[in-house]
Amino acid sequence: MANLKEIRSRIKSVKSIQKVTKAMKMVAAAKLRKSQENMEQARPYADRLNNLIGDLLDDSSKSSINLLSQKQEVKTTGFIIVTADRGLAGSFNTNIIKKAEKEINNYDQENVKLFCIGKKGYEYFSKRGYEVEKYYIDFWNNLNFNIASDIGKDIIDSFIKNSVDEIKVIYNLFKNVATQEVKYEQFLPVTYNEEEVENTTKLVKPLYEPSEKELLELLIPKHLNTQIWKYLLESFASEQGARMIAMENATENAGDMISELTLEFNKARQTAITTEMLEIVGGAEALSN
């Protein structure tokens, strides 16, 4: 059994850690509230823009607009991998990295280029020899739509310049504080449900000025930037939710450990007191004899 000084030192250390985890939980909760507000404001705009492009879309648009046309031969596939810059968020980063590795393994590694958003994903894949086309780190605390637009511009340019033939995205979708879902979607070329487009074209279509093609060429880049903004907001909210839960569990575990150590400390102190009393009684009996 450890001596009293060692146990007291361990209790002090665990209490210090508990204060840190409790503070981190409160910070994550504050960031989560703000990120949820931004996310809930962005979702309706992204959905409305998506529906508008679906209404404008027809077969001729798919072949004439570069961002909509499927490449005849897909040689290089790009992956947008959205992780965090920091850890201490449970399995938030691990789930993304595992999913990304699983999907990348379906392709030849030399035909894959990565767009890493977040330090954790960039560090993991760059150290393992993957080709990282672009990476973006140290921006989460100042996250805004301009950052999303800059990221979107880089990724769209890579597709237009044929650096990649298609682009997939892997990110965490925020459902609630305790639940985040890893999503795997196609980013480029832009795709739409064929049945929805066909149903739309059967209706009496209005005349557009400028033309539908010109509107699509204007709206699709905005749509893609909005999608990047959505990925960032969903991921940031998921990260804060995961960190909040992880720090709450860590705080509770620290409390349990303090209780166990306190019990151990009391037992050790009681043993020491009992030993001293026995020594005193034994000494008194020896003197009396």
CATH number at residue 73: 3.40.1380.10
- Is the confidence at residue 2, as pLDDT, over 60? yes
Give the predicted TM-score (pTM) of the model.
0.86
Question: What would the pLDDT profile of 220-267 be if each residue is shown by its tens digit?
Answer: 999 999 999 999 999 999 999 999 999 999 999 999 999 999 999 999
* pLDDT > 90? residue 86: yes
| The pLDDT value given to residue 204 | 58
State the pLDDT at residue 71. 81
The total number of structural domains in the chain stands at 1
Residue span of the structural domain in which 181 resides? 22-246
Average pLDDT, the chain: 88
Q: Which two tokens mark 198?
A: 């066909």
- Residue 14 is assigned to a structural domain of this protein: no
Range scoring the smallest mean pLDDT among 81-85, 188-192, 232-236, 251-255 = 188-192
> Is 255 within a domain?
no
Q: Where are the beta strands (DSSP E) in the chain?
A: 77-82, 112-117, 132-136, 166-176, 179-188
C-alpha span between 260 and 26 (Å, rounded): 25
| 200 lies in some domain | yes
Identify whether 238 is part of a domain. yes
Q: Among 135-149, 218-232, 233-247, 270-284, where is mean pLDDT lowest?
A: 270-284
Q: Which structure tokens are listed for 101?
A: 């590795």
- The answer to the question of residue 259 being in a domain is no
Q: How confident is the model at residue 277 (pLDDT cuts 50, 70, 90)?
A: confident
Please give the pLDDT value at position 194. 57
**With 80 as the cut, is the pLDDT of residue 112 above it?**
yes
Can you spell out the DSSP letters for 48-107? HHHHHHHHH--HHHHHHSTTTPPPSS---EEEEEE--S---STTHHHHHHHHHHHHHTTS
196 pLDDT more than 80: no
Residue 107: inside a domain, yes or no? yes
Residue 12 lies in a domain: no
pLDDT of residue 236: 95
Percent of the residues in the chain that have a pLDDT greater than 70, as a whole number? 93
Q: What is the mean pLDDT of residues 89-111?
A: 94
What is residue 197's predicted lDDT score, i.e. its pLDDT? 46
Count the neighbouring beta carbons within 10 Å of the beta carbon of residue 82.
25
By residue count, the chain amounts to 289
The pair phi, psi for residue 109, each rounded to 5°, is -60, -35
Residue 274 lies in a domain: no
pLDDT band, very low/low/confident/very high, at 1 (cuts 50, 70, 90): low
pLDDT at residue 158 is higher than 60: yes
